[in-house]
Structure 1
Amino acid sequence: MDTVTHALFGLTLYGAIDKSRMSLRDKRALLFTTVIGSEIPDIDVISQVWDTTGRYQMWHRGLTHSVFLIPVWAAVLVILTKLFWGRASRKLFGIGALAVFIHSTSDLFNAWGTGYLEPVSSTRITFGTIPIVSVTFWLIMLAGLLAARFTRGKWAPHRIFKVVWLLIALHVGMQSVQGYMLYQQAQTKYEQVALSADFVPGVFTIIGKTGDQVELTKGSTWAGQQTVASLQSSETADLNELFTGNPKAKTLQEWSPFVVVVDDGKQLGIYDPRFYRDGQSFLFESIERSAAK
């Protein structure tokens, strides 16, 4: 998910906790834990500073998003709340672990994926059933905020935000069931399949590859799929010269479920077809053909 959504997750988690008996220092420690815990796995973005080998694509959402690091991050948060507010408890540790878990696990559901099992496995796990920016999540959380504000005195705010989390979980479940159905259908048609959720709930793009042909179809479980692009991959191209001239291309190939190879005489490159829009993919690494010779 994007940075804003993760921050909103943290605030929603804070809202779902009963704070009626908490002191101001307790509340501040709790707010820090939920919000920073919801963002801390993305600390890996600083790796761009020292990346000289084109590995950032694998480092981002890599080890810092691992399920095995969740207790480590929770411990760091407790140390910081003890340092800043003199507050450290098993409850804060558990809430911090939950905030980090929500971050790392929610990232599994969009096309970017995470290294959820690093360092045991370097495989980038992705379900592709939720867009990276989900307006639906935003609307659900906004509805909860408004309900908590305008029903003050009638319903406890923490109960309203618990309902918000339930609605978020239901949305993820419904999206995932629909995406799984489409994915299973596509597997009977293509050799390789990837899934990417659209901004509109229930709408998905299926990316299927067979041999050197890649087809993108867009639709839903109830309306069917329509072909939106047909791509040809130059599978016989020698990519070693590309990887030598542009190390980021090697990382992209490792990171993506599969790629489309471009070798048109002028350019040699690869791109991830899951991010193909308006005739191009923003995840495209190449070299000029003259530079490859």
Structure 2
Amino acid sequence: MDTITHTLFGLTLYGAADKRELQKNEKRALLVTTLVGSQIPDADVISRLWDTEGMYQMWHRGITHSIFLVPLFALLIYWLVRVLFKVTDMRYFYWAMLSVFIHNTADVFNAWGTGYFEPFSDARLTFGVIPIVDFVYWGIFLVAWLVARRQNVRHTVYRYAWAAIFVHVLIQSAQGAYLYQSYATEHDEVALSASFIPTQFTVVTKTDDTVSIFSDSVYQSSVLQYELTSADDADLTPLFDENKEALTLKQWSPFVVVVDEDERLGLFDPRFFDGESSFLYEYIEL
């Protein structure tokens, strides 16, 4: 998800806590806990500073988004608020765990995916059923904030907001799973990418060297948008020798389209194809 959404996750998690018996410093500690927990996995963006091998595509949302690092991040946050706010209640550790878990798990549901099981698996886990920026999330957050302003027990409102988010993800996931299975029976490989409009999906398939991109929904007929031919027999050794990001992209993507032209050799992720190119496109000029 984007930074704004992760911040809203942290604020809504803070809002869902019953703070009626907390002192001012305890409330501040809880706010820092949920906000830092909702952002800390994305600290991996600094890896771009020392990336000389073109590995940033794998490093970003890699090990820092692993389910196995959740307790380590939570322990770090707990130590931070304990030092800053002189709190010792272990509930801050559990709130930190929940914040980091929500961040890492939420990112699995969009097309970018995460290294959810690193370091035991370098596979990029992605469901593609929630867009990177989900305006349904934002709408739920906004409604919860407006309603909570008029309520005495505000944390109850935010807990209903979390329930609404869960239902939204469940509905999107069920539709995505149905579409995925319906295409998987006829194609070698399938990938999903959710549209900004709920219930709408881009379904990308690959069979042999043909990549097809469909617009589909459980409520409408499938529409073929683009059909591409991947030059899978091309020798990509010169590309990988000269452009390290290309090798990383091939490892990162579910599958790629290979471009072998007179003046260009490259590959791109078809999930982000816009009719002319993909913003995840690595190539060399020949």
TM-score tier after normalising by the smaller chain length = over 0.9
**Which residue is equivalent to 2:184?**
187
2:230 to 215, 233, 239: 233
1:216 aligns with 2:223: no
After superposition, the C-alpha distances for 1:191-249 in whole angstroms (9 at most, x for unaligned) are 11101000000000110001111000002011021011111111111011100010000
How big is the shift at 1:88? 2.8
Q: In 1, distance between residues paired with 2:258 and 2:275?
A: 18
Match of 1:77 in 2: 77
Aligned to 1:171: 168
Q: Is the 8 A contact 2:226 2:275 kept in 1?
A: no
Distance 1:125 1:57 in 2: 14
Q: Which residue of 1 aligns with 2:95?
A: 95
Structure 1 residue 285 and structure 2 residue 282: aligned? yes
**How far does the alpha carbon of each residue in 1:58-88 deviate from its partner, in whole angstroms, 9 at most, with x for none?**
0000000000000000000011001111113
1:278 shift after superposition = 3.4
Task: Give secondary structure in 2 for the equivalent of 1:219.
Answer: strand
Contact 2:239 2:265 in 1 (8 A): yes
Equivalent position of 1:147 in the other structure: 147
Tell which deviates more after alignment, 81-90 or 157-166.
81-90
Q: Distance in 1 between matches of 2:92 and 2:283?
A: 47
The percentage of counterpart residues that share the same residue type is: 50
User: Is the 8 Å Cα contact of residues 78 and 89 (structure 1) preserved in structure 2?
Assistant: no
Q: CA RMSD in A?
A: 0.7
In the TM superposition, 1:94-173 aligns within 5 A as: 94-149=94-149, 151-153=150-152, 156-173=153-170
- Take 2:282 and 2:240, find their aligned partners in 1: how far apart are those partners? 10
Q: How many residues align?
A: 286
Q: What is residue 247 of structure 1 aligned with on the other side?
A: 244
What are the ranges of 5 or more consecutive residues in structure 1 without an aligned counterpart? Answer: none
Give ranges in structure 2 of 5+ residues lacking alignment.
none
- TM-score calculated relative to the size of structure 1: 0.97
- Is 1:18 aligned to 2:15, yes or no? no
TM-score, length of structure 2 as denominator length: 0.99
Runs of 4+ in 1 over 4 A off after TM superposition: none
1:206 aligns to 2:203 (yes or no):
yes
SS in 2 for 1:139: helix
